[in-house]
Amino acid sequence: MSVLEILDWFGGLPAELLLLPPALFLTGIFAVILTKRRGRLSRWHEIAQRTGLRVNERTIVHQPELVGDYRGRRLTMTIVGRQTGSTRLRRTWTLVTADVTNPTSLGLKMYRQDIVDTLLASLGMPDVKVGDPAFDSRFIIQSHEAELTRQLLGNAALRSELIRADVERVEMFSPRLSVYYARDERDGAHALFDAVVHLANAIDSLEKDSRPDIL
């Protein structure tokens, strides 16, 4: 059977039959999305019960949110797409945000470094060092307020907490602290939430020529 004969045969099929394969394909995609969403919502409801937060399920076209007060700090957790300016190939990230007063108007970007970042830093890319070899080798830290940044991260307990929570990226460019985590969600989320709250507390207690508290 020639190609033209095959095309002619397909052309003779009912239109409804021709539409069936793409309809089944789209239905399958929708089913996968719905299944993943239901699984995420189930896990987030478990996290909410353990942390005292609540789940805002929103609509199917919007990512759900986990919101509420945790250890005296208003937090919001959601899923976001690729980070602006990030070279990471991961498609989705957990983002936890907290409102802060930021009395010193500190601007800060801190992210896990890879081999490319290490090379760029050796060539002169800005990277604030806090004097902790393990922490300095883990993160690229950028800020126009290097001394304030060292004061902020001068607490060894806070540095250890950020490492234990497996934080991927921190951004502080406004009265909102944004912390990224490289998975869809956490089982319990306590380590991540504690790290965000203590970092926010440290930012709010930060003053020039003083060492911030985290508690």
Q: How confident is the model at residue 190 (pLDDT cuts 50, 70, 90)?
A: confident
Please give the sequence-ordered ranges of beta strands (E in DSSP) within the chain, or none if there are none: 54-56, 65-70, 73-80, 93-99, 108-112, 139-142, 167-172, 176-181
pLDDT of residue 73: 94
Q: Is the pLDDT of residue 138 over 90?
A: yes
pLDDT digits (tens, 9 = 90+) for 58-117: 776 678 899 999 999 999 999 887 655 555 656 678 899 999 999 999 999 999 988 887
Q: Is the pLDDT of residue 7 over 50?
A: no
| Tokens coding 92 | 């989705």
pLDDT of residue 107: 93
Q: Which of 9-18, 28-37, 119-128 shows the lowest mean pLDDT across its residues?
A: 9-18
For the chain, the residue count is 215
Q: What b-and-e string marks burial along 162-188, b requiring 16 or more CB atoms within 10 Å of the CB? A: beebebbbbbbeeeebbbbbeeebbee
Q: Is 43 exposed, middle or buried (0-12, 13-18, 19+ CB in 10 A)?
A: middle
